């Protein structure tokens, strides 16, 4: 039996300055997402969870908590850019040019801006990307730069195949 690896993300050597990765999954934001995230993070601004209050604002309806938007778009990028990240080093220049509303579907992409070897860790490199998120109407709702340390090929922890081999071996013995 041969175990074939599925997509396991990019490593430092796979990034090239100028590459653009359209992230594959969109996500529709629900009222529940917005209320739970707002309350879990103890954000007390009623514009996120009080419909009556929100109707009296210039938006006329609840706004999605902007930190949810940062988290969502970051999460959408993991498959393409940070599946093999050792550590996030920072998010910079976060801009929110248009609001996100409950019911909006958010899509995203990332562009590689810089990459360099780590000076202190030979098993990783440092990559900087610009990530953008946009809604179903093509309006940009977020842009930010993110810097992270990403493992080089052969340096990331890999438990998947070891564990799967163990499971398959046990199944064949039963």
The alpha carbon dihedral of 55, 60, 62, 68 has a sign of negative
Domain ranges of the chain: 12-173
CA distance 174 to 172: 6
Q: What is the pLDDT along the chain (174 residues), one digit of tens a residue?
A: 666 677 788 999 999 999 999 999 999 999 999 999 998 999 989 999 999 999 999 999 999 999 999 999 999 999 999 999 999 999 999 999 999 999 999 999 999 999 999 999 999 999 999 999 999 999 999 999 999 999 999 888 876 666 777 777 777 666
Question: What is the rounded CA–CA span in Å between residue 73 and residue 172?
Answer: 42
CATH top-level class of 12-173: alpha beta
CA angle 104, 48, 90 (to 5 degrees): 75
Read off the pTM.
0.87
């Amino acid at each position: 039996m041969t175990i074939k690896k599925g997509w396991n993300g990019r490593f430092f050597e796979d990034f090239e300055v100028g590459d653009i990765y359209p992230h594959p999954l969109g996500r529709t934001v629900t009222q529940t997402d917005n209320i739970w995230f707002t309350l879990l993070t103890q954000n007390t601004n009623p514009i996120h969870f009080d419909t009556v209050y929100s109707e009296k604002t210039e938006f006329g309806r609840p706004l999605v908590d902007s930190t949810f938007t940062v988290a969502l778009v970051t999460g959408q990028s993991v498959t393409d850019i940070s599946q093999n990240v050792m550590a996030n080093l920072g998010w910079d220049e976060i801009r929110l040019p248009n609001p996100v509303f409950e019911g909006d579907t958010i899509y995203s992409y990332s562009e590689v801006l810089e990459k360099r070897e780590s000076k202190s860790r030979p098993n990783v490199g440092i990559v900087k990307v610009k990530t953008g998120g946009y809604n179903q109407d093509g309006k940009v709702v977020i842009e930010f730069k993110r810097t992270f340390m990403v493992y080089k090929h052969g340096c990331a922890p890999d438990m998947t195949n070891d564990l799967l081999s163990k499971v398959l071996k046990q199944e064949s013995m039963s």
